[in-house]
A and B are shown apart, each in its own frame.
Chain A
């Protein structure tokens, strides 16, 4: 079976500005990002015949297609579980293009999370089944749910707040190199981190992602077509989604080992269908709604052993020149939090050689979606 290995490529990326508050609507921002991505690829909107986004995306396919003048669509899909769906949007399009269901796919996410309401404040539309077991007790926000895992992780493996700071600092340092990042001109120090206000102990302000208005999109075509596009193709080498057996909701406190999450499931499939191993990855864009997701994901995707993710961050390992440069645009922690889509576009920039924090000669990039929730991941190469 041929599969999707290197059968498709990302040939266009686009984004709007990122800010705490943008004046335009989510629909307008979506249109701008999609048109920018198509222009980057040198492909006319009328050629687009596939779309993919998140179930949480509020601008639907009908609105997008008629606003930007897409052609007849023959494939459209939406992926659930918030930030867990980011990489799966590209994966679904790659599968559709590789199997002939479509020829030009656009994935996008537009979100006014910076100026709009905080989702956890809407108590009527919480995840229905899990909510009765957690929300009444004041486990209200994703930060509280991940904080619970973080405390246990620190207890079991000796991880410290300094390890979480290593993650926050690496992302902030890269944002300080990226003029498009919300935190471009805001350096972070250890003292600022250690004295920051708590959000949910053991997590402080700087362990939490930004609140951002913005939109991004990318364009996927066959590898054959990609050779004729305007930009250097970035191939989808491997892709996976991950919903482990007996998983549950945002996090799973009800299995043998809650510290082994959906990343492990996605990783097994991702590497099984790849010609590469974790040692071959030059740069990683790992979903960072919260700093503890980085050590957990480093373990899940096989960069280190179980319980070694925190120690992995030591000695500048996540910085440029380190063992695994991380979130080189600044990530959700310091560039923008748009449900992880900026991590996809940053991965493409690295493999084009155009990142503002370029890893010299980067040829392979892992991009991951939210850990804890049912997730997804991409292995990109050039």
Chain B
């Protein structure tokens, strides 16, 4: 069973040291291992090729248990977003209001990844003013390290 762990470290310069880290289950673990290498990959059926997310043990289309991890180009568009305000967990309250975006991947529009739109790979949550966020905006995955875990973040594509 995957649970969220929360480090008790004192907050650092970016203020994100108390953010929740993903605790993967068996099926999700490869996603985070590839993210640590700076790759945004999604699970694909090794037999029929269908992409699937979230990861699971077998293919709902052909029932194969063989999988591969498809390297995406990391591009997508904002499908929707919210701007949370307190009450929140303390580390998130400290950064609020921040955005959470849902990005639909160019290569598989049914796959929509939750994440944060930031002004650069190392910028904190909330670094893009909410007024600059638009549904449909093109974004690109970047990677940031939080508590020793690499997570995808999103930046606006340069136009």
Interface residue count on the A side (C-beta < 8 Å):
42
Interface centre among B20, B81, B113 (most CB of A within 10 A): B20
Roughly how many angstroms separate A155 CA and B78 CA in the complex, as a whole number? 12
Q: Which of A225-275 contact B (CB under 8 A)?
A: 246, 248, 253-256, 258
Interchain pairs with CB closer than 8 A, number? 129
Contact A132 B81 (CB under 8 A): no
- Contact, CB under 8 Å: B24 / A140: no
Nearest residue (CB) in A for B23 is A132
Closest beta carbon of chain B to A249's beta carbon, Å: 9
Q: Interface readout for A50-85 with B: 1 if CB under 8 Å, 0 if not?
A: 000000000000000000000000000000000000
Complex CA distance for A322 and B121, rounded to whole angstroms: 52
Contact (Cβ within 8 A) A200 B83: yes
The reply to whether A202 and B54 form a contact with Cβ atoms under 8 Å apart is no
Contact A129 B89 (CB under 8 A): no
Within 8 A of B (CB), among A169-204: 197-203
Partner of A136, one of B1, B20, B53: B20
Interface residue tally on B, bucketed by range: 35 or more
Task: Output the nearest chain A residue to B152 by Cβ-Cβ distance.
Answer: A137
Cβ contacts under 8 Å, B135 to chain A: 151-152, 155
Judge whether A1 is part of the interface by a CB distance below 8 angstroms. Answer: no
Q: Check A135 for interface membership: any CB of B closer than 8 A.
A: yes
CB-based contact A201/B85 at 8 Å: yes
Query: A354 on the interface (CB 8 Å rule)?
Result: no
Task: Answer yes or no: B49 CB below 8 A from chain A CBs.
Answer: no
Question: Is B4 part of the contact surface with A, judged by Cβ < 8 Å?
Answer: yes
- Could you say which residues of chain B place their CB within 8 Å of the CB of A119? none
Q: Are A132 and B28 within 8 A (Cβ)?
A: yes
* B19-46 interface with A by 8 A CB criterion: 19-25, 27-28, 32
- In the complex the two chains form, what is the Cα distance from A254 to B130 in whole Å? 24
B79-98 near A? 1/0 per residue, CB < 8 Å: 11111110111001001011
Say whether A128 contacts B88, CB under 8 Å. Answer: no
Which A residues lie within 8 Å of B129 (CB)?
none
In the assembled complex, which residues on chain A have CB atoms less than 8 Å from the CB atom of B111? 254
Within 8 A of A (CB), among B61-84: 79-84
Q: Say yes or no: B89 contacts A121, CB within 8 Å.
A: yes
Contact of A129 (CB < 8 Å), options: B54, B85, B100: B54
> What 10 A-B pairs have minimum CB-CB distances, sorted nearest first?
A152-B80, A201-B83, A147-B82, A132-B22, A123-B4, A253-B112, A198-B85, A128-B2, A200-B84, A151-B80
A interface with B by C-beta (< 8 Å): 118, 121, 123-126, 128-141, 143-144, 147-149, 151-152, 155, 197-203, 246, 248, 253-256, 258
Chosen A-B contacts, 6 in total, with CB atoms closer than 8 Å, are A123-B6, A133-B113, A137-B114, A139-B114, A199-B84, A203-B82
